[in-house]
Amino acid sequence: MPRASGAAARLERIGPARSRAERPENKRRYTVTSWLEVLARVEALEGIQLDAGLVHRMERRMAEVAGTRVGDIHFYTPSFKSFRTSEIDGCGTSAWPAVSITGADCSLQCDHCKARILESMIPARSPEVLWSVVSQQIEAGARGLLLTGGSNLRNEVEYDPFYPVIRRIKDAFPGFRIAVHTALADEAVAGRMEDAGIDVAMLDVIGAQDTVTQVYHLRRSVDDFERSLEALAATRMKVVPHIVIGLHYGSLLGEWRALEMVVRHRPDALVLVVAMPFYAPEHRPFAVPESPAVGAFFLDAREALPDVPVLLGCARPAGRVKSEIDGYAVLAGLNGLAHPSDGMVELAVRLGRGVRVTSACCSMAVGEQVAALEGDGGALQLDVDQIIAQERERRRLVSRQGTLASIRVVSADGPA
C-alpha cells in the first residue's frame, strides 16, 4: 500500500479537490492543495506513516459529508490516567475518577482484558464504601464519576445493591455526573438505572457471534447486545455505546454489524476504542489492529452518523500506531479524542477545525455541551490566531530561558 510520511508526503500531490482548510466558510489563514501537505507540515507526525490512498479517500469523502456533527473537535483528558503531551496538560487527578464495584474481580475473564483494566480503578465493593468514595472525591474536586465493575457469567454487572446510594448521591449532589458501564441490560435493569439518576449509559456493542463466544467466553447472542441497546435507548439516560475495533484478536470482524445496530437506535454519542493486546493470554494472542483498517472504519462511522458525536476513547494501542490511529481520527472528522498524541491539536487546526480541550471523560460528550462540565466553562477553545500568538510568546521567552515544549505552527507569512 502507498504510504505517506514526513518527506514522502511533501513530494506527493493528489487531485484538485479542495481540502476543508481551503473552504471560504472556514476563514482560515492556511491554504494547502492536499491533506498530505497538511500532514507534512506537522513536525510531531514526522515519524509516523499514514496510507496515502486512505488519506486521499478521506479528503474526498469528508468534503461530501454534511451533518451537524461534522466540524469542531474536542480533545479530552480524563483524570483517571496520567496524561501530558507537548500540546496539552492533563487535568487534576481527582476530576473524573473511575470506580469499580467489584474491585479487580470479573467472572468473564475476557481474552482482551482479563480484568486487568479494573485494577487501576478505585474499589467500592459495598454501597457504604461507594458513598464514602464519592464524598471524598467530590471534596477533592471531582465533577463526575465513571462507575463500572466486573461482569458475572452472563455479562451483567450486578448494580442492584448500589442503586439506592446512586440515587442518594444524585439527590445530594445534583450537578455531579455519573456514567455507568451497563454491560447487558434488559428493560427492567435499564429502568432501575434511570430511576437511580444515572446520567450516561455505556455499553460495548459486539457484532460477531464468534467474538461473543471466543473472546468474551459468553453464552449470549449478538441480538442480546442490540436488545440491550434498545432498552437503554428507551430511557431518559444519555446512551453512549462503544465499539471495540479489532476485538476479535486484532481482526475486524463484527464492527460494521455493530455500527448498523448503533445507527438503528440513534445514540447520543458513539465512542470508538481500539483493542489493546497487552493482556491477552499466550495461547490466544492479539495482533495489533492495522491502523489503515481502523481509519477506514472511523470514516464509515462518521458517514453513518453525521449528526451524532463520534469519539475516539482512551483505549487504543500505544506507540507509533497510536499516533497513526489518532491521525486517522482527526482526518476522518471524529468529534473528539481522549488523550490525543502529539501533533493532533496542530493537525486539527491546520485542517480548519475548531478545537477545544476538556478535562472530562469523552463519554459525557452529549448535546451541545460536555455534560460533565455543565457547558463550556471547563473547555479551552483554540483557534489559529490564538495558537500563533501563544507560540510567538513562548519563542520569545525561550530565547531568554532555554527549552521549548509547545505545538509548532507556521503562519501564512512564515514560521511564527
State pLDDT tens for residues 260-277: 999 999 999 999 999 986
In this structure, the answer to whether residues 161 and 32 fall within a common structural domain is no
Out of 314, 334, 354, a domain closes at 334
Residue 199: which of 238, 234, 229 has the closest Cα? 238
C-alpha cell at 325: 490511529
- Both 28 and 117 in one domain: the answer is no
What total number of domains does the chain contain? 2
For residue 395, being part of any structural domain is answered with no
Q: Is 60 exceeded by the pLDDT of residue 163?
A: yes
Q: What is the DSSP string of 168-193?
A: HHHHH-TT-EEEEE-BS--HHHHHHH
Tens digit of pLDDT for each residue in 24-57? Answer: 344 444 445 699 999 998 888 888 899 999 999 9
Indicate whether 254 pLDDT > 70: yes
pLDDT tier at 86 (50, 70, 90 boundaries)?
Answer: very low
The model's confidence at residue 400, banded by pLDDT at 50, 70 and 90, is: low
DSSP one-letter code for 405? -
Q: Using the 8-state DSSP alphabet, how is residue 116 labeled?
A: G
Whole-number Å distance between alpha carbons of 160 and 393: 55
Same domain, 148 and 259: yes
Whether 375 maps to a domain, the answer reads no
In the Cβ-directed half-sphere of 138, how many Cα atoms lie within 13 Å? 15
How many residues would you count in the chain?
416
Residue 160 falls inside a structural domain: yes
| CB 248 within 8 Å of CB 293 | no
312 pLDDT exceeds 60?
yes
Q: pLDDT-derived band of residue 336, with 50, 70 and 90 as boundaries?
A: confident
Name the residue among 381, 328, 331 with its Cα closest to residue 21: 331
In this structure, are 127 and 211 located in the same domain? yes
Q: Is position 233 within any domain?
A: yes
| 115 and 195 housed in the same domain | yes
Q: Is residue 76 part of a domain?
A: no
Judge if 39 and 162 occupy the same domain: no
pLDDT band at 368 (very low <50, low <70, confident <90, very high): very low
- β-bridge pairing 98-100 and 122-123: parallel
Q: Residue 303 is part of a domain; what is its CATH number?
A: 3.20.20.70
pLDDT of residue 183: 96
Q: Mean pLDDT in the chain? A: 79
Q: Is residue 339 part of a domain?
A: no
123: pLDDT strictly greater than 90: yes
60 and 95 share a domain? no
Give the pLDDT band of residue 315 (cuts 50, 70, 90).
confident
Q: Is residue 403 part of a domain?
A: no
Q: Are residues 141 and 223 in the same domain?
A: yes
On whether both 97 and 224 belong to a single domain, the answer is yes
Domain end, chosen from 334, 364, 389, is at 334
Query: pTM of the entire structure?
Result: 0.79
Q: Report the pLDDT averaged over residues 104-123.
A: 84
d(CA 40, CA 161) in angstroms, rounded, equals 54
For residue 387, CA distances in Å to 40, 139, 353 come to: 19, 34, 13
Contacts of 293 (CB under 8 A, 6+ apart): 252
Residues 11 and 108 in one domain: no
Q: Verify that 178 and 273 share a domain, yes or no.
A: yes
Q: What is the pLDDT of residue 359?
A: 57
Cell numbers for 87, please give them: 500540546
| Rounded average pLDDT over 287-314 | 94
pLDDT recorded at residue 189: 98
Residue 386: its pLDDT value, please?
A: 58
Q: Which range, of 186-190, 205-209, 328-332, 381-385, averages the lowest pLDDT?
A: 381-385
Mean pLDDT of the 294-306 span: 97
Regarding whether 93 and 54 lie in a shared domain, the answer is no
Provide the domain limits for residue 5.
1-64
- Whether 317 is in a domain gets the answer yes
Q: Which of 13-22, 82-91, 380-389 has the lowest average pLDDT?
A: 13-22
Q: pLDDT value at position 396?
A: 59
CA-based torsion, 64, 70, 75, 80: positive or negative? negative
- What pLDDT was estimated at residue 94? 57
Domain's final residue, options 64, 81, 113? 64
